[in-house]
A and B are shown apart, each in its own frame.
Chain A
Amino acid sequence: MRTLIFLLLSFLTSTLALAGVKIEHWIAPSGAKVYFVETRVVPILDVQLDFAAGGAFVPAGKSGLAGLTQGLLETGAGDLDEEHIAGRLVDIGARLGGGADSDRASVSLRTLSDKSQREAALDLLRTVLSAPTFPQSVLERERGRTIASIREAETRPDAIAAKRFAAAIYPGHPYGVSPTVESVGAITREDLVAFHRQHYGAKGAVVSIIGDVSRAEAEAIAQRLTEALPAGGGDLVPPAVTLPVRETIKIAHPAAQSHIHIGLPAIRRSDPDYFPLLVGNYTLGGGGFVSRLMKEVREKRGYAYSVYSYFAPRKLEGPFEIGLQTKREQVPEALKVVDEVLTEYVAKGPTAKELAAAKKNLVDGFALRMDSNAKLLGYLSTIGFYELPLTYLDDFPAKVKAVTAQQVKAAFARHVKAENLVTVIVATD
Chain B
Amino acid sequence: MKPLLAAFTVLAFAVAPAPTLANPFETQLANGLRVIVKEDHRAPTVVHMVWYRAGSMDEKDGTSGVAHALEHLMFKGTKTLPAGEFNKRVAEAGGRDNAFTSRDYTAYFQIVPKAALPEMMQLEADRMANLKLDPKEFASEMKVVMEERRLRTDDNPHALVSEALNSLMFQAHPYRRPIIGWMDDLEHMTWQDARDWYRQWYTPNNAYVLVVGDVDHREVFRLAQKYYGPIKQHALPERKPQNEPEQVGIRRVSVKAPAKLPYLAMAWKAPKLRDVQKDRDPYALDVLATVLDGHDASRFARNLVRGSRVAQSAGASYDATLRGEADFVLDGQPAEGKTIADLEAALRAEIKRVQDEGVSAEELTRVKTQSIAAQIYKRDSLMAQAMEIGGVEAAGQSWRDIDTLLEKIKSVTADEVQAVARKYFTDDTLSIAVLDPQPVDQSKPKKPSGAVRH
Contact = CB atoms under 8 A, between A and B. Distances in A.
Contacts of A360: 91-92, 94
B154 A254 contact: no
Nearest to A254: B443
B295 interface: yes
A325 interface: yes
14 contacts: A43-B7, A83-B297, A89-B297, A147-B336, A148-B260, A148-B333, A254-B440, A254-B444, A257-B154, A288-B96, A290-B88, A305-B147, A372-B382, A427-B445
Given A89-B297, A254-B446, A256-B446, A302 B143 contact: yes
B302 interface: yes
A367 interface: yes
Contacts of B312: 145, 148-149
Interface stretch (B42-50, B247-255, B267-275): B42-50
Interface of A: 1-4, 6, 18, 40-44, 82-83, 86-87, 89-94, 110, 112-115, 141, 144-145, 147-149, 151-152, 154-155, 157, 212, 252-257, 287-290, 295, 298-306, 325-329, 357, 360-368, 370-374, 427, 429
Interface stretch (B161-169, B319-327, B371-379): B371-379
A155 B147 contact: no
A364 B1 contact: no
A287 B150 contact: no
Given A256-B155, A328-B445, A303 B373 contact: no
Interface string B2-17: 1110010000000000
Nearest to B45: A371
B231 interface: no
Contact of B100 (A2, A86, A114): A2
A61 B282 CA distance: 51
B295 A152 contact: no
B415 interface: no
Given A141-B306, A145-B305, 8 more contacts: A1-B99, A110-B377, A144-B335, A145-B335, A256-B154, A287-B91, A327-B147, A370-B43
Nearest to A75: B306
B454 to A, nearest CB: 15
B151 A90 contact: no
A114 to B, nearest CB: 4
Given A112-B4, A115-B1, A254-B444, A90 B147 contact: no
A305 B92 CA distance: 23
A329 B448 contact: yes
Contacts of A110: 377
B98 interface: yes
B151 A257 contact: yes
A325 B149 CA distance: 11
A155 B259 contact: yes
B444 A86 contact: no
A254 B258 contact: yes
